[in-house]
Structure 1
Amino acid sequence: MNKAQFSRTYRFLRLIGLNYSEKEYGQVSLWQVIKRILKTYKDAFLLKFGMESWLLSPLLPRKIRPAILRSIGCHIGVDVFVGDHVKIDSGHADLIVLEDHVHIAGGCRLLCHQRDLSNYCVGDDYAKLGYRLATIHLKKGCLIGMESIVLPGVTVGEGAIVGAGSLVTKNIPDWTIATGRPAKVIKQIPIRNR
């Protein structure tokens, strides 16, 4: 795509309300945007009607919800539990990794992108800031408690427990309990004496 074509495409995308910055997305073609919109609609349909189907409710947490998340691009292990009303960053689902036996309780949010505020200064336009994209990695057997939010770039360690209502902004080590806003480790899970 030459510079004149890109300029026309970019102006058209801005005109219809799509705010793609060249710095963030590179030279975006109209066809790429159409493909992305169609994928977004398909994923939104699956998330809206598949994740909360009352008809399939006995199978939802361990079978259907993990299968839906897998189908839209998440990396899902075996025997993963996904509670009701869990919201994921569907536009960046490929950045979500849930290992075997992970439990995500109801109402949680997994966000893989956020505005990059590292160079934000007085007088800057917030809408023109780029995004910081980063993987969320939930390791084997961890639990994310109800209504918690996990931000980009976070790894929750193996067997770790995140308390209900927590805001996870930093990594949580293996076999610990963390809670709060922001989440902080409050307890090391002990080794069982045999």
Structure 2
Amino acid sequence: MGKKNSLAYKALVNVGLNFSEEEYGDITFTRAITRALKGVCKAILLKYCMYSVIFSPLNYRYIRPRLWRIMGAKVDKRAFIGYEVWMDFNHAELIEIGEGAHITNRCLLLCHQRDLKNYFVGDDSTKLPYTKKKIKIGKGVMVGMDTVIMPGVTIGEGAIIGAGSLITKDIPSWTIASGRPAKVIKEIPKRN
């Protein structure tokens, strides 16, 4: 690793690119190029995962979970990943999807966000560092269409998330949660 404000970082800033000094201040040219190439490869895989209708019957339960594993996510072989699902591919290793989990169309899984705890009036929000946290989706979870899952969230086994929800906190196992932000609206009863 280079020192703070490496030549690569200064060059990126001098050409008008606005990067977080906390995350990129010590980046080397080699690391920048390697990171960019990995990002391009993952973006191509993600685009296939999101929009491809070729081999449509295989995409949901076979091709997409396999490609997500190649990108670094921990995805069970029996998971379902719908059409147009976005994942934080630069932090794919922070995503874990359990057996039989069902991520329906147009969902978004985010593993990083700006750290606002040291943000004050007059500060440049683009210079804030990122916090990165794991997302864990348990066995048999059903995530409804258009749901956004934020960093650091665990969705417990058998939980059902209503369409259009924003998951900002952990959701317990065997519950139904919905809303923006999502709240538990029902506990799933045990069968007699």
- Contact 1:51/1:60 (8 A) holds in 2: no
Cα deviations by residue, 1:153-185 (Å, 9 ceiling, x for unpaired): 000000000100000000000000000000000
Residue 107 (structure 1) aligns with: 106
Residue 122 (structure 1) aligns with: 121
Deviation at 1:2, TM superposition (A): 6.2
Q: For structure 1, which segment, 118-127 or 163-172, has the greater mean C-alpha deviation from structure 2 after superposition?
A: 118-127
Deviation at 1:118, TM superposition (A): 1.2
Residue 147 (structure 1) aligns with: 146
Matched residue of 2:56: which SS?
coil
Please say if 1:178 is aligned against 2:177. Answer: yes
Residue 15 (structure 1) aligns with: 14
TM-score by length of 2: 0.94
Give the Cα–Cα distance (whole angstroms) in 1 for the partners of residues 38 and 6 of structure 2: 25
Give the Cα–Cα distance (whole angstroms) in 2 for the partners of residues 159 and 2 of structure 1: 46
Deviation at 1:25, TM superposition (A): 4.3
Deviation at 1:21, TM superposition (A): 3.6
Matched residue of 1:177: which SS?
strand
Residue 88 (structure 1) aligns with: 87
Give the Cα–Cα distance (whole angstroms) in 1 for the partners of residues 117 and 3 of structure 2: 30
Distance 1:143 1:50, change over 3 A: closer
Equivalent residue letter for 1:134: K
Give the Cα–Cα distance (whole angstroms) in 2 for the partners of residues 99 and 45 of structure 1: 24
Cα deviations by residue, 1:106-155 (Å, 9 ceiling, x for unpaired): 01000001111112111111011111110000011111100000000000
Matched residue of 1:186: which SS?
strand
List gaps (5 residues or longer) in structure 1. none
Matched residue of 2:184: which SS?
strand
Matched residue of 1:59: which SS?
helix
Equivalent residue letter for 1:101: G
Identity of aligned residues (%): 52
List gaps (5 residues or longer) in structure 2. none
Matched residue of 1:123: which SS?
coil
Residue 157 (structure 2) aligns with: 158
Cα deviations by residue, 1:8-37 (Å, 9 ceiling, x for unpaired): 222112234544444234621110010010
Give the Cα–Cα distance (whole angstroms) in 2 for the partners of residues 189 and 77 of structure 1: 24
Could you say what the CA RMSD is over the residues aligned between the two structures, in angstroms? 1.7
- Contact 1:22/1:28 (8 A) holds in 2: no
- Contact 1:51/1:64 (8 A) holds in 2: no
* Number of aligned residues: 192
Q: For structure 1, which segment, 43-52 or 102-111, has the greater mean C-alpha deviation from structure 2 after superposition?
A: 43-52
Deviation at 1:50, TM superposition (A): 4.2
